[in-house]
């Protein structure tokens, strides 16, 4: 028997599809429903590695956590990782299969992936009671409808009802709802069940006349009005919004345990990937995290982080052009803490040989760590564990660069003290491991080292649990759906599909 399903689409990118999907997943699992997330095609530089060594979007990994299940490649069969303005690496069922231009992808390759997408969704629906799917961008991208495999293309092929989410905080939500439906073909419109308003501020009774008029114009109900809440973003697909940093900054901030705060500057390198690595730092009371792009902004930082990037050589050039490279060299010479993660780690090394990502050949790194990096065609995708600073630590690896460490101290070791990854020289650190700072004991030990080197009387809180903060955040999303959406009607959609007899809204899709 095939499980139920629902596609959460949006009037725009960043309308709230990811958080609404996660909220519906958490609400369903709390009702005893066996549920899984799905996104046919994701474009993001924020990715994650599953237990079986597959790379998927981080948003789908967090949605799986909302479902209280392990993420798998089936939940995000196609991942596009931009490498520039016009090309992306295509990751199929967790493995990279090549680079492709946007024109080449939409010109035919995308449609050939439809069978893989539909098969992945069918496997999930055969296993779970319900699968909550997330769309991408808007379903009314009329220039891309012919090759669409993530919005109405997947909805029609899999007979999924569609819930359209609109961000009222942006303004124009009624026009966006109406226009989205009116630009779809008759066959696609038959699957669009209704709407969900996101990020509403104020008195809902003032909105209700507009919702009634929208129903009169489209024949479709609004399934809920979600109030605006600070800090509810799960791991975003792209951009500089950092979910838990936002939660800590915008909600009631816990006072520092020690006498000082700790200031952390993150270099906003081009094609920055997995910037969610710093969420765990920002979750600590007394830690202030900010993104920077000028050398003077490093002056008062107690720690500078050079994050991961999909363009290591390009990011290295950007740091030099902006004067940030010289500022990093001065910091290291003064014994002030610097941390490089993944591509940032490679940048801190002596040399990079890249005939894969940038095809730039041999390029000198910053020379702060005795490491030489060679880019391999095969991508490393692993979920390692080890020990660092006498604490257990785990993470995940996503990189083409292979590091040859020629000195310094190992950053992460196994239980026998043998180096597993990374390198440290003085107060300059580097590791390929994303997510290592989510290990609470290691994060506290690392911050104590940073505070000592920076001369700050900062003390990490003894009870901050990053995993618990994430669970709390997901529960808040579930609460929003439970308290502010018509959950009975949502479940009918999941179980039975779109209501029959939904009216056609002209003009429909262009020929």
Q: Which residues are catalytic?
A: 342, 434
Q: Which two tokens stand for residue 10?
A: 């949006």
Closest by CA to 245, choosing from 228, 229, 232, is 232
The token duo for 345 is: 């780690």
Q: Which residues contact 468 (CB under 8 A, 6 or more apart)?
A: none
The full length of the chain comes to 511
Secondary structure element (H or E) that encloses residue 469, with its range: helix 466-484
Angle at 201 between CA 195 and CA 202, to 5 degrees: 110
* Tokens 């474009």, residue located: 43
The Cα 424–Cα 411 span in angstroms is: 6
270: phi then psi, degrees, rounded to nearest 5: -60, 150
The conformation of residue 52, written as its DSSP 8-state character, comes to: T
Helix, strand, coil distribution of the chain in percent, nearest 5: 35, 30, 35
* Spatial distance between the Cα atoms of 110 and 396, rounded to a whole number of angstroms: 28
Q: Which residues of 344-377 are buried (b: 16+ CB within 10 A; e: fewer)?
A: bbbbbbbebbbeebbebeebebbebbebbbbbee
Q: Which CB contacts under 8 angstroms, 24+ apart, belong to 413-417?
A: 413/386, 413/387, 413/388, 414/386, 414/387, 415/387
């Amino acid at each position: 028997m095939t499980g139920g399903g629902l596609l959460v689409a949006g009037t725009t990118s960043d309308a709230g599809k990811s958080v609404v999907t996660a909220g519906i997943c958490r609400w369903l699992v709390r009702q005893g429903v066996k549920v899984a997330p799905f996104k046919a095609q994701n474009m993001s530089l924020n990715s994650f590695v599953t237990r079986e060594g597959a790379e998927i979007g981080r948003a789908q990994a967090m949605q799986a956590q909302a479902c209280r299940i392990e993420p798998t490649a089936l939940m995000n069969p196609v991942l596009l990782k931009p490498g520039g303005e016009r090309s992306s690496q295509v990751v199929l069922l967790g493995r990279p299969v090549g680079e492709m231009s946007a024109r080449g992808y939409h010109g035919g390759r995308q449609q050939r992936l439809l069978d893989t997408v539909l098969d992945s969704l069918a496997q999930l629906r055969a296993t779970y009671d319900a699968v909550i799917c997330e769309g991408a961008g808007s379903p009314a991208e009329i220039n891309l409808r012919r090759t669409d495999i993530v919005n109405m293309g997947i909805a029609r092929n899999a007979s999924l009802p569609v819930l359209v989410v609109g961000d009222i905080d942006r303004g124009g939500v009624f026009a966006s709802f109406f226009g989205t439906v009116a630009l779809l073909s008759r066959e696609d419109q038959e699957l669009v069940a209704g709407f969900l308003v996101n990020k509403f501020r104020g008195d809902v009774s003032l909105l209700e006349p507009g919702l009634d008029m929208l129903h009169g114009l489209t024949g479709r109900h609004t399934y809920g009005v979600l109030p605006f809440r600070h800090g509810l973003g799960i791991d975003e697909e792209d951009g500089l919004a950092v979910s838990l940093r936002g939660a800590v900054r915008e909600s009631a901030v816990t006072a520092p345990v020690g006498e000082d705060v700790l200031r952390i500057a993150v270099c906003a390198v081009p094609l920055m990937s997995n910037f969610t690595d710093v969420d765990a730092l920002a979750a600590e009371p007394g830690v202030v995290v900010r993104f920077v792009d000028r050398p003077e902004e490093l002056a008062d930082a107690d720690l500078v982080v050079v994050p991961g990037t999909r363009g290591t050589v390009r990011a290295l050039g950007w740091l030099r052009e902006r004067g940030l490279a010289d500022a990093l060299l001065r910091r290291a010479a003064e014994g002030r803490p610097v941390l490089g993660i993944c591509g940032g780690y490679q940048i801190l090394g002596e040399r990079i040989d890249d005939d894969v990502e940038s095809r730039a050949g041999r390029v000198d790194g910053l020379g702060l760590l005795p490491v030489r990096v060679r880019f391999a065609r095969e991508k490393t995708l692993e979920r390692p564990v080890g020990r660092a600073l006498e604490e257990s630590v785990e993470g995940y690896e996503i990189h083409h660069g292979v590091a040859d460490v020629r000195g310094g101290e190992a950053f992460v070791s196994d239980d026998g003290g043998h180096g597993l990854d990374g390198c440290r020289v003085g107060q300059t650190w580097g590791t390929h491991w994303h997510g290592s700072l989510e290990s609470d004991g290691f994060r506290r030990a690392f911050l104590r080292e940073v505070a000592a080197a920076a001369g700050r009387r900062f003390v990490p809180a003894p009870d901050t649990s990053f995993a618990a903060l994430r669970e709390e955040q997901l529960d808040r999303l579930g609460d929003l759906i439970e308290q502010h959406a018509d959950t009975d009607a949502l479940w009918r959609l999941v179980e039975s599909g779109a209501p029959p007899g939904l009216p056609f809204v002209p003009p429909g899709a262009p020929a």
